[in-house]
Amino acid sequence: MKGGRSKAEDNGNDTKLKSRGAKAGKRKAKAAKDPNKPKRPPSAFFVFMEEFRVQFKRENPDNKSVAAVGKAGGEKWKSMSDAEKAPYVAKAESRKNDYNKSMKAYNKKLADGENGVEENESDKSKSEVNDEDEDGSGTAEEDEDDD
């Protein structure tokens, strides 16, 4: 469980703050650098958080702090059993498969771009990615399996 690192750094918030600060700071820079790069897939915890946030908001409509939601979500996540986490893990894996496909298309696009067909392929690749995205939604696993 590498996530424990976060806990270790909980004491040294500096590192985490730096990370987040860097993330926030790089957010734009990085986005400008690789706007087409697929975003990282949510982990099981984040998939869980998507639902937890909604529930948390309903139970705590006055709470406007995302930090509080994160804290509560983290505590609940730790209190959950593997069986309870299972559906979220499954969803996360599904997202991961999709991410892998997107990364393949992204890497391919990069290779094409280096070959000297950046602009043209850029648009084309987009279509490809889109096509894969739409088509791949249902056949993602099959495609992976097929491969």
Site residues for DNA per CB under 7 A: 1-7, 9-10, 13, 15-28, 30, 39-46, 49-50, 53, 57, 64-67, 69-71, 73-75, 77-78, 89, 92, 96, 99, 103
Give the whole-angstrom CA distance, residue 139 versus residue 146.
Answer: 10
Closer by beta carbon to DNA, 40 or else 120: 40
Between residues 44 and 125, which has the closer beta carbon with respect to DNA? Answer: 44
**Least Cβ distance, residue 100 to DNA (angstroms):** 7
Least separation in angstroms between residue 144's CB and DNA is 13
Q: Which long-range contacts (CB under 8 A, 24 or more apart) does 101-106 make?
A: 101/132, 101/136, 101/140, 101/143, 101/144, 102/38, 102/129, 102/132, 102/133, 103/38, 105/129, 105/132, 106/36, 106/37, 106/38
Minimum CB separation from DNA for residue 122, in Å?
19
Query: Could you tell me the smallest distance in angstroms from the CB atom of residue 83 to DNA?
Result: 14
The amino acid at residue 103 is M
CB-CB contact of 69 with 113 (8 Å): no
